[in-house]
Amino acid sequence: MQLHAIEERINGRKHKEIYDWIRRQDTISKIDLLEHSQMTGSTLTRTLEELTDQGWLLEAGFGESTGGRRPILYQTNPTAGYVFGLDISRMISKLVLCDLHMNKLDSSSWTMDDTMTPELLLDQIAKTASAMLLKHGIAAASVLGMGIGAVGPLDRFSGVILETLYFPAEGWQDVQISSYLQAQLGFPVRLDNGANMAIIGESWSDRNRDYRHLLYVHLGVGIRSAMMSNGKVVYGAVDMEGSIGQMIIQTDGPRLGKRGNYGALETFASIHALEQQAQSRLKQGRESSLRRLESDPEAISFTHLAQALQEQDPLTVEIFTQSATYFGIGLSNLLNILHPEKVILGGSLVSSHPSFFHTATRVAIQNTYHYPTYQVVFSQGHLGEEAIVTGAAISVINQLTDI
């Protein structure tokens, strides 16, 4: 089965437009559809009848009368198809099975430790997906496809994860993920970077608000970002997911590891950066409750830092505040260039403590050139750690109405 088969399941531009509009409105009357679609009454009636006969739409009762007969209400049929969403990240990977209303039917997750090679993970994903379908009595032919949000860099056209950094296990280079899973499962598989999938998910969860220009930044082991303009994900010539982490904040600054720019944002604002800062300062003799949690400075991890932060350990608070400040400077640079209406911040650093989010956004606003004329909304999103896997599933449903 070819990937483009998803787009062919609903035939005709008008059919796709009507289905997409109803899907975004949840439930809508025929009268409102007539006004929105600009179709003649007979054309709309025929289109709705065909979509209903094909199983894509359901009649959902009657709306309020405005003087005549009560109008028929329509909604999309949640069981007309099913989708999988998959999040492949550095710490946890997760698979969900959903219907077309994004009701979660099943889920499974895997810890990405040093044993979780690509071969092992993909084999378990294929077996788990098949088991989920069997459990719920769903035929593979009823599955529209699987969306995957993965750590980049990657090639979304060929479905290949190219060369990821900081995975605990070996072998995460040139992983032919889409072709493997498609061959094993028998339905289309779509790969994109996790940040793009997350912004699709967050945009859908907030679809009643008409934000057309969104920026998503995920701050964890690395810094991942995505941009949406006029309701569409912005793509560059190459996979851009980790590029903002290489934004230079301090020209004569250090470099994180042996790759990337000196003085880059990820050198100051990432999990590895915080761990290195804590280890360095403990070796210098700074007092901290971290010593109670771990006697060996080089063994200090983000888990220790998160616990010490909750205890308001002064050294840990200092390290997090400095990181949030640098991150806010990076955000202000993005605001001054991209001017999004809304910025969604996610990831384990942002959610580590409310002070991180507040410090970063305050610094960003203070350094935004057109503020207060230019106003931006900051949010931690609605989906949290479910953003990528949710967006991955939604991206498959979106293909139904691609022209």
Domains 82-201+387-401 and 211-381 share a fold: yes
Query: Using CA atoms, how far apart are residues 359 and 344, in angstroms rounded to an integer?
Result: 15
What's the maximum distance between 2 C-alpha atoms anywhere in the chain? Answer: 81
pLDDT under 70: residue ranges of the chain: 1-4, 63, 65-68, 208
Which of 3.40.50.1360, 3.40.50.720, 3.30.70.260, 3.30.420.40 would CATH assign to domain 82-201+387-401? Answer: 3.30.420.40
Output helix, strand, coil percentages for the chain, rounded to the nearest 5.
Answer: 45, 20, 35
Tens digit of pLDDT for each residue in 142-157?
A: 999 999 999 988 999 9
Residue ranges covered by each domain of the chain: 3-76, 82-201+387-401, 211-381
204-214: b (≥16 Cβ within 10 Å) or e: bbbeeeebebb
Tens digit of pLDDT for each residue in 71-110?
A: 788 999 999 999 999 999 988 999 999 999 999 999 999 9
pLDDT (0 to 100) of residue 68: 64
How many other CB atoms sit within 10 Å of the CB of residue 156?
Answer: 17
pLDDT (0 to 100) of residue 65: 64
Query: Using CA atoms, how far apart are residues 400 and 403, in angstroms rounded to an integer?
Result: 9
Element (H, E) at 227: strand 223-229
Query: Using CA atoms, how far apart are residues 112 and 249, in angstroms rounded to an integer?
Result: 31
211-381 placed in CATH 3.30.420.40 = yes
Distance, C-alpha 373 to centroid of its chain: 30
pLDDT (0 to 100) of residue 364: 95
Which of 1.10.3720.10, 3.30.465.10, 2.40.10.10, 1.10.10.10 would CATH assign to domain 3-76? Answer: 1.10.10.10
Beta-bridged to residue 101, according to DSSP, are none
Query: Using CA atoms, how far apart are residues 265 and 273, in angstroms rounded to an integer?
Result: 10
How many other CB atoms sit within 10 Å of the CB of residue 67?
Answer: 4
Tokens of 87: 């999040």
Tell me which residue of 200, 253, 190, 264 sits closest to 226, measured CA to CA: 200
Query: Using CA atoms, how far apart are residues 316 and 328, in angstroms rounded to an integer?
Result: 18
Q: How far is CA 226 from CA 155, 340, 344, in A?
A: 16, 11, 10
Query: Using CA atoms, how far apart are residues 150 and 271, in angstroms rounded to an integer?
Result: 18
Tokens of 127: 């077996």
Tokens of 82: 């099913």
